[in-house]
């Protein structure tokens, strides 16, 4: 069903590109004006002045990549600005041109046929950009780790047979020793973990062949990139933590849900933005694209897969969390997953669990409630272990800072939550 809003008398439709904006003003008497603008600040100001001078009631354009951000930031304080999902305003197939696209958008806007997309506030948009950038670094880190696995496999080195996580402290010690051409026995003697040193013979057999000069260079180069990425990820994580201090209460609530850590919790908050935009949990689940589609023809209705029309980033992290929760010990969410899996299959059950998780998160955030007060004990226990650990890593310190935020919230709100006040 097409969206129908209030009809306007004079509007502007714009086709926004990286370096060009093609704008068309359309009136109810079918008269039109067309103009082209650049995308630097002075051109955007000229565009705004042109729209205002022609008494436009609204300006509408598609959410094209990130190109629309500066256009919206310049126009929205002075004129009603609509950012539309491109999928929602696709017209009939015609010859495509910038002029036709701007006219089509103006026509839809004039007739009130464009439904507004959600626009994040400046702080929420910045937080979302930072969390997505961090995810990009993590993805790149995974690619370089896989590249090192490939280089080792090319030499017949099966290091994982003795060390499961070869990028941990002991694994990096062995990799660094191989790159520097150290003696195998010297490498094995210097392994910091006593548990790993017990596998001496297995590791020795795995690395006995050593690395040739080419592989040494490639592995060393990849390790240097990994070290740089780790520093960037750490720096970005601390920046995200600083930005989430304003939302520490919401972060504590989201992290109270099983399977959600600081990283996934901050991603969820950044991707949702203002959760009050959704009046019901089902609306948020639909925005995530986690609700099943429906096809109907000749009176016959058929359910199909999830729509996948919402935030792919939020949908991905929810599915990842659902995979973690599904492997947990017996709890309400795990039992829900097993019931669905018994009737359907694993993938359907995971998606259903992801949908349930986002509905729970919405309910908890709106009502400012915690999922499980038992998490307080787990967080305090983790903080105590981190304090007792010698030479704790920067990641442990980061997690400890997050735990401190969450723990503080629990102490402040424990009584009101137990009383039902949230």
CATH of the domain at 86: 3.30.420.60
Kindly indicate the confidence band of residue 398, based on its pLDDT and cuts at 50, 70 and 90.
low
Kindly indicate the confidence band of residue 355, based on its pLDDT and cuts at 50, 70 and 90.
very high
Range of 32-46, 92-106, 247-261, 383-397 with top mean pLDDT:
32-46
Kindly state whether residues 99 and 136 are assigned to the same domain. no
Q: What is the mean pLDDT of residues 394-408?
A: 57
Range of the domain at 47: 10-110
Last residue of a domain, one of 209, 228, 244: 244
Q: What is the mean pLDDT of residues 260-283?
A: 92
The DSSP code sequence of 400-412 is: HHHHHHHHHHHHH
Residue 69 lies in a domain: yes
Kindly state whether residues 143 and 47 are assigned to the same domain. no
Kindly state whether residues 81 and 134 are assigned to the same domain. no
Arithmetic mean of pLDDT over the chain: 84
Residue 261 lies in a domain: no
Residue 251 lies in a domain: no
Kindly state whether residues 146 and 84 are assigned to the same domain. no
Q: What is the mean pLDDT of residues 9-38?
A: 92
What is the pLDDT, as a whole number, of residue 400? 60
What is the pLDDT, as a whole number, of residue 94? 59
Domain count, the chain: 2
Separation between Cα atoms, residue 110 and residue 45, nearest integer Å: 23
Kindly state whether residues 35 and 88 are assigned to the same domain. yes
Last residue of a domain, one of 78, 110, 142: 110
Kindly indicate the confidence band of residue 252, based on its pLDDT and cuts at 50, 70 and 90.
confident
CB atoms inside a 10 Å sphere around CB 119: 18
User: Does position 205 have pLDDT exceeding 60, yes or no?
Assistant: yes
Kindly state whether residues 197 and 163 are assigned to the same domain. yes
Alpha carbons within 13 angstroms on the beta-carbon side of residue 322 total: 28
Residue 132 lies in a domain: yes
The residue with greater pLDDT, 235 or 292, is 235
Last residue of a domain, one of 244, 273, 294: 244
* Contact in structure between 110 and 8 (CB atoms under 8 Å): yes
Cα dihedral 264→270→271→277 (10° resolution) = 130
Kindly state whether residues 99 and 35 are assigned to the same domain. yes
Q: What is the mean pLDDT of residues 259-269?
A: 91
Helix axes 200-207, 169-179, angle to 10 degrees: 40
Kindly indicate the confidence band of residue 420, based on its pLDDT and cuts at 50, 70 and 90.
very low
**Ordered alpha helix ranges (H), 212-371:** 213-244, 248-255, 262-272, 281-287, 312-326, 332-343, 346-367
Kindly state whether residues 103 and 194 are assigned to the same domain. no
Kindly state whether residues 106 and 177 are assigned to the same domain. no
Kindly state whether residues 56 and 85 are assigned to the same domain. yes
Kindly state whether residues 131 and 239 are assigned to the same domain. yes
Q: What is the mean pLDDT of residues 241-269?
A: 89
Separation between Cα atoms, residue 113 and residue 85, nearest integer Å: 12
- Of 344, 340, 357, the residue nearest 288 (C-alpha): 357
Residue 239 lies in a domain: yes
Kindly state whether residues 202 and 138 are assigned to the same domain. yes
Flag the least confident range among 46-55, 188-197, 228-237, 337-346: 188-197
Flag the least confident range among 85-89, 284-288, 379-383, 395-399: 379-383
User: Does position 4 have pLDDT exceeding 70, yes or no?
Assistant: no
């Amino acid at each position: 069903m097409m969206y129908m809003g209030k009809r306007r008398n004079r509007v502007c439709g714009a086709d926004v590109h990286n370096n060009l904006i093609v704008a068309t003003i359309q009136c109810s008497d079918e008269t039109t004006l067309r103009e082209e603008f650049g995308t630097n600040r002075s051109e955007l100001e000229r565009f705004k002045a042109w729209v205002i001078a022609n008494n436009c009631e609204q300006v509408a354009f598609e959410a094209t990549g990130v190109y629309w951000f500066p256009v919206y930031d310049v126009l929205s304080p002075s004129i009603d600005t609509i950012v539309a999902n491109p999928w929602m305003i696709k017209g009939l197939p015609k010859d495509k041109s910038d002029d036709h696209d701007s006219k089509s958008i103006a026509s839809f806007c004039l007739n009130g046929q464009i439904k507004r997309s959600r626009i994040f506030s400046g702080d929420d948009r910045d937080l979302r950009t930072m969390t997505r950038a961090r995810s990009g670094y993590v993805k790149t880190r995974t690619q370089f780790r896989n590249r090192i696995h490939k280089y080792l496999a090319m030499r017949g080195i099966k290091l994982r047979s003795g060390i499961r996580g070869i990028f941990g402290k002991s694994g990096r010690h062995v990799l660094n020793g191989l790159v520097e051409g150290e003696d195998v026995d010297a490498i094995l003697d210097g392994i910091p973990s006593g548990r790993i040193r017990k596998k001496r013979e297995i590791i020795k057999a795995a690395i006995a062949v050593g690395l040739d000069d080419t592989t040494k260079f490639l592995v060393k180069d990849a390790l240097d990139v990994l070290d740089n990425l780790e520093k960037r990820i750490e720096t970005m994580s601390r920046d995200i933590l600083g930005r989430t201090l304003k939302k520490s209460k919401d972060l504590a609530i989201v992290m109270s849900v099983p399977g959600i850590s600081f990283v996934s919790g901050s991603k969820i908050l950044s991707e949702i933005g203002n959760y009050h935009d959704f009046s019901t949990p089902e609306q948020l689940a639909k925005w995530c694209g986690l609700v099943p589609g429906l096809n109907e023809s000749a009176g016959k209705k058929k359910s199909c897969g999830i729509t996948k029309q919402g935030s792919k980033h939020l949908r991905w992290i929810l599915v990842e969390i659902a995979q973690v929760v599904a492997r947990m010990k017996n709890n309400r969410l795990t039992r829900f997953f097993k019931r669905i899996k018994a009737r359907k299959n694993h993938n359907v059950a995971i998606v259903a669990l992801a949908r349930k998780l986002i509905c729970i998160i919405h309910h908890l955030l709106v009502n400012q409630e915690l999922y499980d007060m038992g998490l307080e004990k787990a967080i305090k226990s983790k903080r105590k272990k981190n304090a007792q650990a010698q030479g704790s890593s920067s990641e442990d310190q980061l997690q400890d800072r997050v735990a401190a935020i969450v723990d503080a919230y629990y102490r402040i709100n424990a009584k009101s939550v137990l009383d039902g006040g949230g």
